[in-house]
Structure 1
Amino acid sequence: MKFLVFLGSVRDSTPPKPARLGVRVVEAILACLKMRYQDHEIEVVDALDYSLEPIFKPHFAYPKNKAPSELNELAQKIESADGYIMVSPEYNHSMSPALANLLNHFGSSLFSYKPSAIVTYSAGQWGGMRAAVGMRTYLSELGCLPVSAMIHVPRAQDIFTANGTLQTGEDQDSWFNYFARTINQLAWWAQATKAHRAQADPHQLISDFKATPSERNAP
């Protein structure tokens, strides 16, 4: 399976410290994937790497072959992936605006009929759970339905070091077992949907919403 891990934080200010707490969480997820899921291909998509224009123009709105190269390349990665791991902090009980902005540049036809996993974190006690609730609806509309198990990391700065290793006193097996519950679901669904897509192209069965609302309106 090929999975994209989206890091949805571009914050570079304090307080709180550290500013990019999500980097620690992603590194810990990657360490678990490399140790326990060596057969899968994993790539990180960091929202900070995309200097998108302040005036919003999605990838699919550009004339053919005229979109910025970084959007074209990411579109190809999204389309070729078998599933997605969405890592987000919580802002005002909602998902990261940077993550939503990046994902909104692409049509749901690139994400559809593949699973996703939700990973949230916080510097406080709730682990981003309230953002995760909203992400279920968002990712479902995007077409990459989230698996039921989610990962929440409260007080992430006290659990992981800057490079994603466990702080002294934290048990790696316990955390990796916690991660694995969600990742196992993601891998199972990714395998199932990949196999079925090979038998029946869902985009041929159900037309993609491409241009106007009338394409999905009731009669």
Structure 2
Amino acid sequence: MKIIAVSGSMNATSTTRQAVKIIMKAAAEAGADTELIDLREWDLPMYDCRPDENTYPERVHTFRKKMLDADGFILGSPQYHGSITGCLKNALDFIGARELEGKFVALVGTAGGMMGATDTLNTLNIICRTLHAWPLPSMPSVPRSYDAFLPDGNLKDEKLQQRIETLGEQLVRAIRQNNGELLAGK
């Protein structure tokens, strides 16, 4: 089972990437093969609806292929002006229902404020459902993310840490159930 995690932050010290990695680790411990796509490192061009998509750089085609071949996803974004980041929206514009249809998605958001990233998570939920994916019902948010993590990458709030770890386990379980692996005893 292959899970692609997309960290939608351009920040070099991204707390979103830290939260995504917690989910990835839990999913890996539950038996998934995980891979991080850190959009800060991918340098995707702006999606511009060009008539010949073959003129996009190879990294766009690689990104699409990885998304198509994945069994499930982890999408993370900091809250920017009540929504998702431009880099994540741009990356998602390169894909469609072909890549996401019928696949499960774990969502996580981070925010500098006390209210968390509720609007970001709602936006990601809508995008996933529009692309015929299945966002998991639990969508944890890390408020005051600039002060939420320990030096080892774990969260200071043990209950939130557990919620985010559980999300990785739930993603693996949902994919297995959907693929009939649990019914077949795998």
What's the TM-score bracket when you normalise by the shorter of the two chains? 0.7 to 0.9
- The one of 53, 65, 79 equivalent to 1:62 is 53
Structure 1 residues 8 and 146: alpha-carbon distance in aligned structure 2, compared to 1, 3 A threshold: same
- The one of 165, 176, 182 equivalent to 1:191 is 176
- The answer to whether the 8 Å contact 1:27/1:163 transfers is no
Structure 2 gap ranges (5+): 182-186
d(CA) in 1 for partners of 2:154, 2:24 = 10
Shift of 1:57: 3.9
- The answer to whether the 8 Å contact 2:20/2:108 transfers is no
The one-letter code matched in structure 2 to 1:25 is A
d(CA) in 2 for partners of 1:185, 1:166 = 19
d(CA) in 2 for partners of 1:27, 1:180 = 10
Larger radius of gyration: 1
Partner of 2:119 in structure 1?
A: 130
Q: How many residues align?
A: 181
Structure 1 residues 31 and 40: alpha-carbon distance in aligned structure 2, compared to 1, 3 A threshold: closer
Say whether 1:139 aligns with 2:128.
yes
For the aligned residues, what is the CA RMSD? Answer: 2.5
Deviations 1:147-179 (A, max 9, x none): 111111111222214651345xx53xx344212
Structure 1 gap ranges (5+): 13-17, 197-219
Deviations 1:87-129 (A, max 9, x none): 0111121112210101111222111110111100112112201
Say whether 1:44 aligns with 2:36.
yes
Say whether 1:101 aligns with 2:95.
no
Percent of aligned pairs with the same residue? 22
d(CA) in 2 for partners of 1:99, 1:142 = 15
TM-score scaled by structure 1?
A: 0.72
TM-score scaled by structure 2?
A: 0.83
